Chain A
Amino acid sequence: MKVTVVRSGGFAGIERRAQSDSASDPMLTRLVGRVDLKNVPPPGRIPDQFLYEIDIDGDRATVGEAQLHGPLRELVHHVLSRVH
C-alpha cells in the first residue's frame, strides 16, 4: 500500500510532498484502516489555508486544513513527517 500526501497553498504557496509505503512503514496500514476518504468534506476556499491532497493507492481526496481532523490528520502528519 502506498500513500502520497501533497500539501499546497498557504501564504507561501510552497508545495510539500511525501510518500510512504507499507512495505517499509509498519504503522501505515493501521492508520489507513481508520480513514474514510469518501467522507471528506470539500476544502472550501479559505485564502491562504493549506490544502492537503491525499492519495491512497489511487483513491484521492483534497481536504482543507480547517477540516483536517482525527484519523485523517494523523495519517497526513505521519506521512509528511517521514520525509522532512
Chain B
Amino acid sequence: MRCHIVPPHMLERIARHADDPALRDRARRTLALTSAHFADRRLTAAGAPAPSEDFVPDRTIRDAGNREELPGRTVRAEGAPACGDETADRAYDWLGATFDFFEAAYRRNSIDGAGLRMVSTVHYGDRYDNAFWNGEQMVYGDGDGVLFTAFTGPLDVTGHELTHGVTQHTANLEYYGQAGALNESMSDVFGSLIKQWHLGQTADRADWLIGQGLLASGVGGVALRSMREPGTAYDDPRLGKDPQPAHMDHYVETYRDNGGVHINSGIPNHAFYLAATGIGGNAWEKAGRVWYDTLTGGSLAADIDFAGFAAATVQTATRLYGADSVETKAVNRAWTGVGVPPKANG
C-alpha cells in the first residue's frame, strides 16, 4: 500500500477550506493521485473550485515500445517540449484539448474533477488495432496500416477514452447491457463534442462521426460509428457492415461485447444527436450540458437502463431550462424518436 506523509483527512480539509486556491488545488491533486478510486466523488462535490481558478493539466505520455506491457517508458511529461515522436506528441496535444474542453464547457478539472494526472501509453502492441481505458489510463495501438491507422490520430478517440474515466469517477455506469451501452454512448457523445468544440462547429455543421480518419485508405467506410445515421459508418468485405441500430425496435440482444455495448450505443447516440440538432447552436452548450449534468449529478444508478436515463435527462433539462422550454421539448422528442419515450412526468 501507499505511504502518506500528510494524512488524507488533512488533505481533504485543505482541499475544501484553505483560503489559497493554489494550496486547495495542490491538496486536491495530491488526494486524487493517492486515492484516485475512492475519495474523489465525495471531494468533488464538497470542494467546488473558485470560479476564477485556472485548471492546469498534468499529462504523461509513455511508450510501450510495441509490446503489450503497461505502463511503458515515459517519453513526455507535462510542460516538456515536443519529444519528436509524432504519435506521442499528438497524444499529448489531444489530452490537452480534451482537458481544455471539460474545463471550458463544464468547469471540470480533469478526469476526476480534482486534477487527476492523465496518462496515455502509445505504441502499445504490434500493429494493435485498438485503444482502451484500463481504469487508470489510456492505451493506444498504432493500427495495422491495412484496416486501421493509428488510434492516436482522431481527437474523438482520445475524447472517447478519457470520458470512460469521467464516467468511472461519476455515475460509474456498469459496463454491461443497457448501462454499458450508455457508458459507451457517453464516450461517443463527449468524444464528438470535444471535436466539435475544437473545430468550432455548430450542431448542424458537425459530422457526428466517431473515429473519422481511423479506417485505412481502401476500406469501405467513413468512420466507425455515425451518431446522425447509426448503421451507416462502414460496409466492407473485411470488416462487415456497421451493426448499430438507431431505434429501440432494432435493439440487439447478444452476450458478446458485454451485451453489445458498442452496438446498442447507437440508440442513445442518436437520441443525443436528435436533441442537439433539435436545440441548435453549439451542441456542447445545451444538449451537452444536460447530458453532462445527468452523468455527473450523483443520482444515476450504476445499472440504469435507457428509459431511466432518458427520464433523468428530461429532469435535468426541466431543472436547467424549464418544463415548457424548447430545450426540454427537444430532449423529450429525441428519446421518443429512438423509441424510448420518457415517462409523462419524468
Residues of A within 8 A of B (CB): 6, 8-15, 45-51, 53, 66, 84
Contacts and interface: CB of A to CB of B under 8 A. Distances in A.
Given A11-B130, A12-B130, A12-B224, A47 B263 contact: no
B135 A46 contact: yes
Looking at chain B, what size class is its interface with the partner chain? Answer: 20 to 34
B133 A15 contact: no
Interface of B: 129-135, 148, 151, 157, 160-161, 164, 174-176, 180, 183-184, 187, 211, 214, 224, 238-240, 243, 256-258, 261-263
A10 B141 CA distance: 11
B258 A9 contact: yes
B211 A12 contact: yes
Given A48-B164, A53-B256, A15 B240 contact: yes
Nearest to B240: A14
A15 B132 contact: no
A73 B211 CA distance: 28
Contacts of B160: 11, 48
A13 B157 contact: no
B240 A11 contact: no
A66 B134 contact: yes
B130 A45 contact: no
A63 B74 CA distance: 29
A66 B135 CA distance: 12
Nearest to A43: B258
Nearest to B187: A47
Contact of B132 (A6, A8, A46, A53): A46
Contacts of B187: 47
B239 A11 contact: no
Given A11-B131, A11-B151, A84-B238, 16 more contacts: A9-B257, A9-B262, A11-B130, A11-B161, A15-B256, A45-B176, A45-B180, A45-B258, A46-B175, A47-B132, A47-B133, A48-B131, A48-B132, A49-B132, A53-B256, A66-B134
